[in-house]
Amino acid sequence: MLKFPIYLDHNATTPCDPRVVEAMIPYFTNNFGNAASRNHPFGWQAEEAVEKSREQVAKLIGADPKEIIFTSGATEADNLALKGVFEMYASKGNHIITCNIEHKAVLDTCKHIEKEGGEVTYLKVNPDGLVNLEELEAAIKPTTILIAIMYANNEIGTVMPMKEISAIAKKKGVLVFTDATQAVGKIPVDVNKDGIDLLAMTAHKMYGPKGVGALYVRRKNPRVKVTAQIDGGGHERGMRSGTLNVPGIVGFGKACELCMHEMESEAKRLSALRDKLENALLKLEEAYINGSQHHRLPHVTNISFKYVEGEGLMMGFNKEIAVSSGSACTSASLEPSYVLKALGLGDDLAHSSLRFGLGRFTTEDQIDYTIEQVTKTVNKLREMSPLWEMYKEGVDMNSIEWAHH
C-alpha cells in the first residue's frame, strides 16, 4: 500500500530516522543540562552525551573528535571555514579558489569576502559538472590561502575528484576546504585519505535533525586554525561560542553512527532504484541526464525533459510525489538554476529539469509509481506544448525570433 505523498527530495532534507529521535528525546526532558555547566550532574551528563556524539561524527569522516566543532548547520560551517580562514591567514594572503557550482552558502560567503578585500577565483566546471585540475593548479598563486570545492553537488549529485584536488593543494601548500553536506553519510568520506583540511557537514541531510552541523578543522599536518565568527564564552575550543544544542548534537551523532553502519548497503540499494527510475524515464524521447553519470552520488538523478517546463511538470504529481526542479518558476528569484547553467545547458533545458533524491525509506513501489506518473505527465504536457509540436514538425527553433519582454 503506497502512502502519499512520496518523498523523493532527499537532497533538500531528510526525515529523522526514528532511532535518531529516540536517542534525542531524553535530552529534551530529563537530561536537559547545559553541556558547559561544569559543576553538577546535569551538565556532566550533557557534556558526556556531546562528547560521545563528537566521537560518532568524527568516526564517520575519519577524524579525531578534537577536530569537530559543532555549529547550527552546514551554512554556518561554510561561513566559519571561509571567513575564519580568510581572517586567520590574512598575513599569508587573501586569495581563495572555488568553483561556480558551489552551494549559495559558499558562493555568497565568497562574495562577502570579496567585499572585505579578498580575491576569489570561481573556476568554471565542465559539462559534467567537474572542476578542471589543470585550471585549478594554474589558478594557485603565492597569495592563495584556500581552495574550497564541494565534495558532491546538491543539484546534480556530481562528486568532485577530491584526492586529486588535495594532492595539487598539498604540492602548493594551500589548505583545502570542502562542503561535504551531500556526501557525508552517503559515500565514504575520509579527511586523511582525501587530504582535506576543513569540512562542513549537517545533520539534516543524513536522517538527523535540522539546526545542527559541524565544521571539521584539522589539527595535525598541518594544524589549521579559524577565527571565530561567533564570540561569547569561547565554546568549541574558542572557535564557536554558544550553548551547545545538546539534543540536536545527540541526534547528529546517532545519525552518523547509523550511516557508518548502513551507508554501504544503502548506497547499493539506492543506486539500483535510481538506475531503474532513470532508465525508465530516459525511454522518453528528448530526456537528458544532467551532470556526470560516472562520478556522482548513488541516490541522485537530475533529468531534463525537453519542451516541457519543470514547475508545470511537477504540478502534475506534486500532491503525491515530492521532487524539485531547476526551473526559474520554482525559484524566488525567477532565475533558472545556476548550476545547470554552469554545465552549459541552455536555459530551456534548465527550465525543464527535475531532481530526484532517493533515501533510506524509498521503496521500489514508490519508484514504480513515480515512473508511471512522471511518464504520464511528461506526455500530457508535451501534447500541450507548442515547442514539442514544432520539434515534431522539424521546425528549427534556433531560427525563430522569440518575442522577449
Partner 1 sequence: MAYSEKVLGHYQNPKNVGTLDKNKSNVGTGLVGAPECGDVMRLQIEVDEATGLIRDAKFKTFGCGSAIASSSLATEWLKGKTVDEAVKIDNMEIVEELNLPPVKIHCSVLAEDAIKAAINDYRKKNGLPELKFEESVVH
Determine, following the binding rule CB under 8 A, whether residue 1 of this chain makes contact with partner 1: no
3-state secondary structure of 304: strand
| DSSP category for residue 194 | T
CA–CA gap between residue 44 and residue 53 (Å, rounded) = 14
Minimum CB separation from partner 1 for residue 391, in Å? 11
Choose between 123 and 350: whose C-beta lies nearer to partner 1.
350
Q: What x/- string results for residues 95 through 134 when contact with partner 1 is judged by CB under 8 A?
A: ----------------------------------------
Q: Pick the stretch among 33-41, 146-154, 285-293, 383-391 that binds partner 1 (CB under 8 A).
A: 383-391
Prior bond of 5 cis (ω within 30°): yes
Q: Is 387 in the site for partner 1 (CB under 8 A)?
A: yes
Residue 386 near partner 1 by CB under 8 A: yes
Q: Whole-number minimum distance, CB 102 to partner 1, in Å?
A: 24
Name, in order, each residue with C-beta under 8 angstroms of 309's C-beta and a sequence gap of 6 or more: 327, 329, 351, 352, 381
Query: Which C-beta is closer to partner 1: that of 163 or that of 392?
Result: 392
Per the listing, cell 595539487 goes with 168
* Contact string (CB under 8 A) for partner 1, positions 240-279, x = contact: ----------------------------------------
- Judged by CB, which is closer to partner 1: 91, or 398? 398
The pairs formed by 363-372 with CB atoms below 8 angstroms and a separation of 24 or more are 364/273, 364/276, 365/2, 366/2, 366/6, 366/8, 367/273, 367/276, 367/277, 369/2, 369/6, 369/320, 369/321, 370/6, 370/8, 370/277, 370/317, 370/321, 371/276, 371/277, 371/280, 371/281
Closest contact distance (angstroms) between CB of 3 and partner 1 is: 21
Query: In the complex with partner 1, which residue's Cβ is closer, 275 or 335?
Result: 335
Q: Residues 299, 305, 309, CA angle at the centre, nearest 5°?
A: 110
Contact 61, 200 (CB under 8 A): no
- Which one, 264 or 372, has the nearer CB to partner 1? 372
Report yes or no: 374 and 6 within 8 Å, Cβ to Cβ.
no
Q: Is 405 in the site for partner 1 (CB under 8 A)?
A: yes
Does the CA dihedral 217-144-76-57 come out positive or negative?
negative
Q: Which is nearer to partner 1, 132 or 373 (CB)?
A: 373
Per the listing, cell 522539424 goes with 394
Name the residue nearer to partner 1 (CB basis): 75 or 302. 302
Residue 342: C-alpha distances to residues 75, 100, 350, 353 (Å): 22, 7, 10, 14
CB of 385 to partner 1, least distance (A): 5
Size of the site for partner 1 (CB under 8 A): 30
Residues 289-328: x where in contact with partner 1 by CB under 8 A, - otherwise, as a string: ------------------xxx-xx--xx----------xx
Residue closer to partner 1, measured from CB, 11 or 325: 325
256 as an active site residue: the answer is: no
CB of 307 to partner 1, least distance (A): 6
Indicate left, alpha or beta for 242 from its phi (over 0: left) and psi (-120 to 50: alpha).
Answer: left
Give residues 332-371 in contact with partner 1 (rule: CB under 8 A).
Answer: 332, 334, 336, 346-348, 351
Alpha-carbon gap, residue 203 to 276, rounded angstroms: 28
Residues in Cβ contact with 172 at an 8 Å cutoff, skipping those fewer than 6 apart: 137, 140, 144
Using rule CB under 8 A, residue 26 touches partner 1: no
Q: What are phi and psi of 313, to 5 degrees?
A: -65, -45
Residue 386: CB minimum distance to partner 1, A? 4
Q: Which stretch binds partner 1 (CB under 8 A): 113-121, 125-133, 220-228, 395-403?
A: 395-403
Q: How far is the CB of 341 from partner 1 (least distance, A)?
A: 10
Catalytic, out of 16, 110, 259, 329: 329
Cα distances from 385 to residues 131, 309, 310, 371, 375, in angstroms, run 36, 9, 13, 21, 15
CB 344 within 8 A of CB 290: no
| Contact between 383 and partner 1 per CB under 8 A | yes
Q: Which residues pair with 200 in a beta bridge?
A: 179, 215
Rule CB under 8 A: choose which of 39, 134, 265, 403 binds partner 1: 403
Chain residues that interact with partner 1, rule: CB under 8 A: 307-309, 311-312, 315-316, 327-329, 332, 334, 336, 346-348, 351, 383-389, 397, 400, 402-405
Active-site residue list: 329
